[in-house]
A and B are shown apart, each in its own frame.
Chain A
Amino acid sequence: MPAIRARMKNMCVDCAHFCNDPEKMENEIPGLQVMGSGWASVRNIDGLCRKRDVYLAGYYTCEHFKPLKGARAA
């Protein structure tokens, strides 16, 4: 997603509150595996935000952004 990344900083996909691991998503979202999949293209890089309890696209940003430790060190 170079186009999005070039335009935005502090996206959810780079936030410590965010998770989009496909296996975790299938465990957290009941029924996702039945007729869908955590590994499907339609999910793109969407994931769950623990801070706000929302499921959202990885390119979103918000005031609660918290960089990962590795990113902070860099």
Chain B
Amino acid sequence: MSNEGKNTGLTPTEEAWDEEADDIRPKMGWKELWLKEDWWAIWVGLGIVIVATLFFLNGGTIKWIAIKPARWSTLGQAFSHFGAHLPQYAAMFVLWLVVFVAAMKAMGRNLAEYIPSFIFVFVFSIIIFYIGAWEHAHAYNLEPPLVALVLGMLISNIIGLPKWMDTGFRVEFYIKIGIVLLGATLPFTLIVWAGPVAIVQASIVSIVTFSVIYFTAKKLGLDRRLGATLGAGGAVCGVSGAIAIAGAVGAKKEHAPIAITMVILWAIVMIFFLPLVSRAMGLHAGIAGAWVGTSEFADAAGFAAAQAYGKVAEALPGIPGSEEDAVRAFTLMKVIGRDIWIGIWAFVLALISTMKWERKEGQKPDPAEIWWRFPKFVIGFLLASLIITWIASGYSLADYDKIVKPELVGPVKTLRTWAFIFCFFSIGLTTRFRELAAAGTRPFTAFTTGVVVNVLLGFVLSALVFASYWTHLTVGQ
């Protein structure tokens, strides 16, 4: 389906490729407030946080609608719990559907495709969440992120689904909403305390990784625009980094797909590899989270790895830390340390591209690009953190644990978990290996060299140099 006839603020497909199209294109600018996913993640995520806060300030709570499976040991218990709470599941489904449909309609998506596709995602997400609530789930590594991912990949690669269903598998949209909601569970004081450390650690790793990939690619004779696109994919923020830099440097059409293939393949490997190695070494959940934040390639994949390891840490007595430790460290490292710098990377590389690589008169990127490429959902993440920190500041620690946590933060966290499961399942459903672009040996070699350096350096910085920060995230608040 196309967006033909809809005002998306971007070039309408059919008209763009019909050179005789009778149209002057609508401009984007501030229309991105309702035409880009980042802003919709803010409206949805922050909207939930604000509504939850208003309920709380008036003596209420949204926990009735933020339902989740209870721990169970027999199938009878699981079915019984689900049956007893069916109206709550139905209400939560309607809540998600309404806000998602509003966002999709504004962005010009086909609702006749989106609605059935989201119903499919939601039904499987319930099953995945219940599997994760089984009392022996940890013993069999049946963590919801990993189950969602594997189940999704099995369905998409073995059974197959109609292409139109992709409309509902919005990986980035769901993860961005989850990150905004995560802001509500992360004290702003913690961001201020550990954020600079995350920026230092992530900057070291990003610059080294980018340089390794870029110069290896150059040495192997690859186009420098491909080298830069691969480098940004490995060093900054995965697919988002690769596509942003591809545009900034004017890469060949095939460059971005090659970098994306590399990112996806290595990101999926790392979802399993990093938690496995962390578990074998008995790493603190905070350290593992920081390592994942440094060495994973995409937000969604990183959250899957960090959350899975955090749950393992909570279930196994030999591993210190909690799920929150892992997720918090990961978020600080990935979102604050790496994601927010994409605009600057793009601007600098665009400058190099236009002034050095392909010198052309009058062609120079504007510094405003840094803002337009900024991953705006981070604003929602910070605002959510500020709101809840402000509320919590009026309570003692004991009252926070007794009142604020169960009535306000807990329900938001539950909705966050649902958004993450939608995301993880969507990753699996959209990862169709046969559809990925063939990368070739030289791009693979360049990227993989960067991966090795990245993983080793990320481990040294997380587990040795800055370990005290990542093991004391709750102390530093």
Roughly how many angstroms separate A33 CA and B264 CA in the complex, as a whole number?
A: 11
Q: Are B17 and A32 within 8 A (Cβ)?
A: no
Quick one: given A23-B1, A55-B251, A69-B21, are A41 and B373 in contact (CB under 8 Å)? yes
Taking a contact as CB atoms closer than 8 A, the residue among B17, B166, B363, B374 that contacts A60 in the complex is B363
Which of B10, B108, B342, B436 lies in contact with A20, CB distance below 8 A? B10
Q: Which residues of B contact A22 (CB under 8 A)?
A: 3, 8, 10, 107
B230 at the interface (CB under 8 A from A): no
Once the chains bind, are A29 and B243 in contact (CB under 8 Å)?
A: yes
A21, A36, A54, A73 pick with most chain B CB within 10 angstroms: A36
Contact of A66 among B19, B263, B431 (CB under 8 A): B19
Number of interface residues of B (CB under 8 A): 87
A23 B2 Cβ-Cβ under 8 A: yes
Say yes or no: A16 contacts B21, CB within 8 Å: yes
Q: A42-B342, A44-B373 are in contact. Are A37 and B363 (CB under 8 A)?
A: no
A47 to B247, alpha carbons, bound, how many Å? Answer: 7
Residues B247 and A55 in contact, CB atoms below 8 Å apart: yes
Q: Is B29 an interface residue (CB 8 A)?
A: yes
Q: Chain B nearest CB: distance from A20 CB in Å?
A: 5
B32 within 8 A of A: yes
Q: When the two chains form the complex, which single residue of A1, A36, A53 contacts B238, counting CB atoms closer than 8 Å?
A: A36
A55's partner among B22, B25, B255 (CB-CB below 8 A) is B255
Does any Cβ of A come within 8 Å of B256's Cβ? Answer: yes
Task: Check if B24 sits within 8 Å of A74, measured CB to CB.
Answer: yes
A32 → B minimal CB distance (Å): 6
A10 CB to nearest chain B CB (Å): 10
The interface centre, meaning the residue of B172, B246, B435 with most chain A CB atoms within 10 A of its CB, is B172
Which residues of chain A come closer than 8 Å to B251, judged between CB atoms? Answer: 54-56
Residue B447 lies at the interface, judged by CB distance under 8 Å to chain A: no
* Interface flags, A28-62, vs B, CB<8A=1, else 0: 11111111110111111111101001111101110
In the complex, the answer to whether A20 meets B260 with C-beta atoms within 8 Å is: no
- In the complex formed, the residue of A with least CB distance to B28 is A45
CB-based contact A35/B301 at 8 Å: yes
Please tell me if B252 contacts chain A, counting CB pairs below 8 Å.
yes
Q: Which residue of A lies closest to B248 (CB)?
A: A57
Task: Give chain A residues whose Cβ lies under 8 Å from the Cβ of B241.
Answer: 42
A residues 1-18 in Cβ contact with B at 8 Å = 1-5, 7-8, 13-14, 16-18
Interface positions of B from 231 to 287, Cβ below 8 Å from A: 237-244, 246-248, 250-253, 255-257, 260-261, 263-264, 267
Interface string of B351-377 (1 = CB under 8 A from A): 000000000101101101100111111
Given known pairs A35-B238, A46-B247, A57-B247, the reply for A41 and B38 (CB within 8 Å) is: yes
List B5-23 residues whose CB lies under 8 Å from chain A.
8, 10-13, 15-17, 19-23
Question: Mind listing 20 A-B residue pairs with CB under 8 Å?
Answer: A7-B366, A17-B19, A20-B16, A23-B13, A30-B261, A31-B260, A31-B263, A34-B427, A40-B36, A40-B240, A41-B376, A42-B237, A44-B373, A48-B253, A53-B252, A54-B252, A54-B253, A57-B250, A68-B21, A68-B22
Interface residues of B, Cβ cutoff 8 Å to A: 1-3, 8, 10-13, 15-17, 19-25, 27-29, 32, 35-39, 107-109, 166, 169-173, 237-244, 246-248, 250-253, 255-257, 260-261, 263-264, 267, 297-301, 342-343, 346, 350, 360, 362-363, 365-366, 368-369, 372-377, 427, 430-431, 435-437
